[in-house]
Chain A
């Protein structure tokens, strides 16, 4: 606790509030993308369609056997139903045999 100043002393309270989520571990990373299925998750903004096409090209050059599930399969991750969409996502990804996901665009 800090102290400072020479006039009337105010003991003041914290204006914030506790976080309601503990830190969580990330999913384990993959050894390689070769032979893996990668989902494309797009918020329908900022040229994500072009970016994902370029990423496909670049990743296939490195990992010829990588497969993609297009963003078209999922719809926008940032629409009016975003909360429901995100909640249902893990199940959908499992159903499609997805091993990893690329999510964009944070711009």
Chain B
């Protein structure tokens, strides 16, 4: 709590409100991408199609056995039905045997 000034002192209240979300742990990281299946999640903006193609090329060069599930499979993660798309992801990842995801584009 701060104090300051020489005029009348006001005891004032916090203008914000408590968060409704607890901190959560991230999923465990993979030891390697070799032989893993990686999902591409795209918000259909900022040349993500080109970016994901380049990332595929770069990752395959390092991990020849890496597999990808195309962004075409999941739909727009930033469209009008964003909530439904995101809610469906865990189930779809299970069905598709996804081990990791790359999500873009934050631009």
A6-28 CB contact bits vs B (8 Å, 1 = yes)? 01100000000000000000000
* Distance in angstroms between the alpha carbons of A8 and B8 in the assembled complex: 7
On A, residues with C-beta under 8 Å from B are: 7-8
The 3 A-B pairs of least Cβ separation, nearest first, read A8-B8, A8-B7, A7-B8
Chain B contacts to A: CB under 8 angstroms: 7-8
| Chain A contact surface mostly | loop
Closest CB in chain A relative to B20 CB, distance in Å? 36
Name the A residues within 8 Å of B8 (CB-CB).
Answer: 7-8
Collect the chain B residues with CB atoms within 8 Å of residue A8's CB: 7-8
B10 → A minimal CB distance (Å): 9
Closest to A9 in B: B8
A105 to chain B, nearest CB (A): 48
CA distance A17 to B9 in the complex (A): 32
State how many angstroms separate the Cβ of B41 from the closest Cβ of chain A. 56
Which A residue sits closest to B9, measured CB to CB? A8
Please, could you name 3 A-B residue pairs with CB atoms under 8 Å apart, sorted by A?
A7-B8, A8-B7, A8-B8
Residues on A with beta carbons closer than 8 Å to the beta carbon of B7: 8
Q: How far is the CB of B12 from chain A (nearest CB, A)?
A: 13
Q: Which residue of chain B has the shortest Cβ distance to A8 in the bound complex?
A: B8
Give A8 Cβ to nearest chain B Cβ, in Å. 4
Chain B residues whose C-beta falls within 8 Å of the C-beta of A7 in the assembled complex: 8
Query: Bound complex: CA of A67 vs CA of B8, how far in Å?
Result: 71
For B7, the closest partner residue in chain A by CB is A8
Chain B's closest residue to A7 (CB) is B8
Give the residue name and chain of the A residue nearest to B8 (CB): A8
Taken together as a complex, chains A and B put the C-alpha atoms of A8 and B6 apart, in Å, by 12
Q: Chain B's nearest CB lies how many Å from the CB of A5?
A: 12
Give the distance to chain A from B6, nearest Cβ to Cβ, in Å: 12
Roughly how many angstroms separate A7 CA and B8 CA in the complex, as a whole number?
9
